[in-house]
């Protein structure tokens, strides 16, 4: 039976640390602020934004929400981003994805000031992650590293397999594992003999976006399995990319869905916002 890596508990610890620092900043008359922009009425995005507002309240941040109609133009959204970039009360800016199809996500993400880009999606921040000279990290990959550290998993020298090559999770995840001296294999939709690759993993990270995609026959006995996926199965139940019930029997440690990586992503967002606030305060 695998150890269950409780993302809620680890995230609560991260948020407690952030809240303690925020208290000190407030004592100096400085309140960190996070602006979240939501365009349209995507129900899942609405849930994410509400959760982020709760997190802000929990750690003591000022929270600024900008809810815009789906027909908002790209130019209008760029105007808002420019105003938030210039607003000293706003230390972090998060534009909730996905955006409506008529707005280019890349254009918007590139417009956010790198110093306020708490998702770490701006090309400047991506480049800094590549060379290991970064201020903050993409929230989900950083959350995964935090989870591995929390259970004492040694990354150096381990074979780490990442399934998925997205700019948000797969690619930065591979870089963070490399920075920690892991030997990294990235698998994706064109990988041949996928199970042969995944069965070699001491640490297996699934970020493919397909319900129950990773089955027990794809996992090395004793592997640490991190499930980044958030999917709905045929019954409408929230499940990950890993077939949890069967993989849990052979893994040494595994993250549940829900209650695994999801809470960590939000906790790291709070930490990134605090980091951005402190850096801006020092300028």
Question: Using one digit for the tens of pLDDT, what is the confidence trace for 87-109?
Answer: 999 999 999 999 999 999 999 99
Q: What is the pLDDT of residue 221?
A: 98
Q: Which CATH architecture has domain 139-261?
A: 3-Layer(aba) Sandwich (3.40)
Q: What is the pLDDT of residue 269?
A: 97
Q: What is the pLDDT of residue 229?
A: 95
Q: What is the pLDDT of residue 234?
A: 83
43 Ramachandran zone, left/alpha/beta (phi>0; psi -120 to 50) = alpha
Clarify whether 119 is annotated catalytic: yes
Clarify whether 149 is annotated catalytic: no
Q: What is the pLDDT of residue 69?
A: 97
Clarify whether 280 is annotated catalytic: no
Q: What is the pLDDT of residue 10?
A: 98
CA dist 3 and 250 (Å) reads: 11
Q: Considering the entire predicted model, what is its pTM?
A: 0.95
Eight-class DSSP state of 98: S
Q: Where are the domains of the chain?
A: 29-113, 139-261
Low-confidence ranges of the chain (pLDDT < 50): none
- Distance from chain centroid for Cα 157: 24
Catalytic residue among 96, 116, 202, 227: 96
Diameter of the chain by CA atoms?
A: 58
8 A C-beta contact, residue 229 and residue 213? yes
CA dist 91 and 237 (Å) reads: 36
Q: What is the pLDDT of residue 224?
A: 98
CATH of domain 29-113: 3.40.50.10860
Q: What is the pLDDT of residue 283?
A: 74
8 A C-beta contact, residue 95 and residue 67? no
Catalytic residue among 15, 52, 158, 220: 52
The backbone torsions φ and ψ at residue 94, rounded to the nearest 5 degrees and listed phi first, read -130, 115
Q: What is the DSSP string of 106-133?
A: HHHHHHS-GGGBTT--SHHHHHHHHHT-
Catalytic residue among 15, 55, 116, 119: 119
């Amino acid at each position: 039976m695998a150890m269950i890596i409780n993302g809620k508990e680890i995230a609560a610890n991260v948020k407690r640390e952030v809240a303690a620092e925020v208290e000190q900043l407030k004592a100096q008359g400085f309140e960190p602020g996070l602006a979240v922009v939501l365009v349209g009425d995507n129900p899942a995005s609405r849930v994410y934004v509400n959760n982020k507002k709760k997190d802000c309240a929990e750690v003591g941040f000022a929270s600024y929400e900008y809810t815009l109609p789906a027909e908002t133009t790209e130019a209008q959204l760029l105007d808002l981003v420019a105003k938030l970039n210039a607003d000293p009360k706003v230390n972090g800016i998060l534009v909730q994805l996905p955006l409506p199809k008529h707005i280019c996500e890349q254009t918007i993400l590139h417009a956010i000031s790198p110093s306020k880009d708490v998702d770490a999606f701006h090309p400047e921040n991506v480049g800094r992650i590549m060379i290991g000279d970064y201020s903050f990290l993409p929230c989900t990959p950083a959350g995964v590293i935090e989870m591995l550290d929390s259970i004492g998993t040694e990354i150096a020298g381990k074979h780490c397999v990442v399934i998925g090559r997205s700019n948000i999770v797969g690619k930065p995840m591979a870089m963070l594992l490399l920075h920690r001296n892991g030997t990294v294999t990235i698998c994706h939709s064109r990988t041949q003999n996928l199970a042969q690759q995944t069965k070699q993993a001491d640490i297996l990270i699934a970020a493919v976006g397909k319900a129950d995609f990773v089955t027990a026959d794809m996992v090395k006995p004793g592997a640490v399995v991190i499930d980044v996926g958030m999917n709905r199965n045929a019954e409408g139940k929230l499940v990950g990319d890993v077939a949890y019930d069967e993989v849990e029997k052979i893994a040494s440690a595994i993250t549940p869905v829900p209650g695994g990586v999801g809470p960590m992503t939000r906790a790291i967002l709070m930490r990134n916002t605090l980091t951005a606030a402190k850096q801006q305060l020092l300028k």
